[in-house]
Structure 1
Amino acid sequence: MGPLAGLRIIEVAGIGPGPFAAMLLADMGADVIRIERPGGSMFANQTELDFLNRGKRCICIDLKKEGGVALVQQLIASADGFIEGFRPGVLEKYTLGPDDCLRANPRLVYGRMTGFGQDGPLSNRAGHDINYIAIAGALHPMGRAGEKPAIPLNLVGDFGGGGMLLAFGMVCALLEAKGSGKGQVVDAAMVDGASLLMTSLFSAWQTGYWGERGTNMIDGGAPFYEVYQTRDGGFMAVGALESQFYQVFVERLGLADELPNQYDMAQWPAMKERIAEVFLQHDRDHWEAHFADCDACVTPVLSMDEVKDHPHNRARNSIVVKDGVWQPRTAPRFSRTDGGEPASAVPSGHDTMAILAELGVADEYQRELLANGVVMGE
């Protein structure tokens, strides 16, 4: 199932963006084999909640023991793609760098996920999402006027600019390899990806359309693109940017004859205060129902626990329940080769013996590998 069915991807287990990229490929039907180190999974007792590993098979290999690297090399020789997320040079020490792997498998697409990239003065420095988006220019514009930048979880660097871009790069290179017969390295850096996500804002800044943090139309500066608190402590999201939607919005609030021109920026702070006063008069459920039948671009701000029960999400089956827990469905959707519901995540080493058998490893040697701690699992 899925448009990537028939492709095999080997993933060296890591955290965050690498596993997310591999998850996206698995969601689309690729056979993703995750190489886990012994004791490496943080979800040992709650495998069903390890959503980033859904749909993957797992073999547990200790690269530091004799025979471990050889097994990984065998897996790579059988694969279309390979994903790793170590600092530059780490896998080269194990003879698992791009040169070694492409020599053994010339069609291999070798995906490298890092924060700062494979070269440059920061390439070997430690960092996290907040650091990558900071130097990418993505952190500075976020937040309220007069306040410090707001941290956007780790969605911009790790997942949007990192894992998503790596998955896109892998698919591009895999497609190219089908024609050329040659693999290549995909250098996915979160700094590059976060900067790419800022493309339109970099344009807006240089044209003078974008001002300082928290004073613009889509960063909380405008009263018609804002989050407002309700009487019960809930919140409503307002995105009435276009004039026709704004008109419906203020009419439903009873403020059409009171508020000044939508684009009178000098009046935006006062307009916000007045709109906030109105929203505080009723609970969130009231406002959700009040705006439900019109194009005012007003929606409730749902908690993570509420998402699965929203009527629209239920109608599209956007959140699926599997193994007693709920998680997002695969996306995007396809009319003919849709991936459907995600497959379950499996415990570390769940497929070790089956994968060894696929590689043609003799039963006696399998037992020897287990006894020596080179592999672990079932």
Structure 2
Amino acid sequence: MGGGLTAALAGCVDALETSVDDPFAVETVVDGLAHPWAMAIVPGDSRLLVTEREGRLSLVDREGGSHTEVDGAPVVYVTGQGGLLDVALHPDFPDDPRVYLTYSIANDDGESTTAVGRARLEADDGDDPELTDGTELYVAEPWLDSSGHFGSRAVFGPDDRLYVSVGDRREDGFDAEHVSQDRSNDLGTTLRLEPDGSIPDDNPFVDDEDAVDAIYTYGHRNAQGMTVHPETDELWQSEHGEEDGDELNVLEAGSNYGWPIAHYGCAYGTDEPIGDEPADRDDVVDPVYYWKCGSGGFPPAGMTFYDGDTFPEWQGDLLVGNLAGQYLGRFSVDGTDVSEKDRLLEGRGWRIRDVVVAPDTGDVYVAVDDGDAPIVRLTPQE
């Protein structure tokens, strides 16, 4: 991993205007970030790791509002939807202080792809945090001349394996020859890796010589949200459709999620369906919730289940960032029965990129996607 500059910027936590109808107050934790993409709460600590798409990784003090750039972040290829993307912590953090990052990289021909790397976070004294012993664990194939659909959420499952979404890179075509239906490449998939980047022996396609061993699920378009259900241990994922067709899915090992042979959306700028409806096929997994063509859609981003005490009425609900719709969706979940209950933060003009819940306080942290953006915190109304 490459080097970077370290800077400490003092700040404060300021209250924003809050509607009397909201069951929460909204506070700015830190401001002035450039397209923050992902957050991770540092266990047993008051700090928050934040990625910015242009290549910065920062430690944010949740209480004081200061943020410090972490030196040693990987050198990334910033283009379109690409750059420094997700961040995840080793399941045994801080005993194993390794940080996992996903990001886009480019070759000498200007082609790009999604990569996964890890490094040790040295930040005990809080002054000059840095990543050391960085290494690239996995590079998705093939490399393409495209600036979109990199994925790329990274989540450790209850089995302590690392799950990473890889987008279809905007490859054309709506038939069975599409890259997302071709298991011989990494595009349009969810990967499953050991913490060291090797392939688990029980991955669903390790005995298939025509399939990539790292693939866990396939038939995806561009999944940009992923989280583990705190009670069932199921892996949930949010995925962008074409013209609408956005989805919430529960991942099943070895399964096909349909794109583009089965989809609830339409081709851009038309009312023409793409493929069959997933419910009409027995060879693809139907989403647990979806937005049909003509619904206006829900371009989804980061997601998490609420599992805290601060907002007891939200307990067990799924929180999902909405980009173009500019709100934080709150969904009730009963098994795989899902319904939208509320549009949080609506009317502020915020593209919601990521959301996390602090286990120590139950407060909700939200990353806004903009060139000059805040991280905000939702707390109960006083």
Taking structure 1 as the reference length, the TM-score comes to 0.29
Q: Hey, which of these two has a bigger chunk of helix by percent?
A: 1
| Higher-strand-fraction structure | 2
Q: Which of the pair has more CA radius of gyration?
A: 1
Asked which structure has the greater RCO (Cα within 8 Å, sep 6+), the reply is 1
